[in-house]
Amino acid sequence: MLHWILTLSVMGAFAALGVFAHSKLGTVRNKEQRPHQQPWGLIMIGCVFVIFLGVVHIMNLLGVETGPDKGPFGRF
């Protein structure tokens, strides 16, 4: 049960960070009218990657075997 709580909590936190990064993408700072120094696009991509890993982890918790050998076409 602890794995479920931690996985869903981390996925929720990264979803919130991704939404925040999306809102900051393309904006400028108020005082100096220069772009932000944080790469918000890369932060959004990282959030999506972590959420994808969380989905795979949940599938493994449910008992679905994932990995390169377990696909419908086998290992290439």
- Residue 74 is encoded by which pair of tokens? 């086998």
Q: By the 8 A CB rule, do 40 and 21 touch?
A: yes
Q: What is the pLDDT of residues 8-64, one digit of tens each?
A: 999 999 999 999 999 988 777 777 766 667 888 999 999 999 999 999 999 989 988
pLDDT in the model for residue 72: 66
pLDDT at position 66 over 60: yes
pLDDT at position 67 over 80: no
Cα separation values, 47 from 17, 23, 32, Å: 7, 14, 28
- Report the distance separating Cα 65 and Cα 33, nearest Å: 50
pLDDT in the model for residue 40: 87
pLDDT at position 71 over 80: no
pLDDT in the model for residue 48: 97
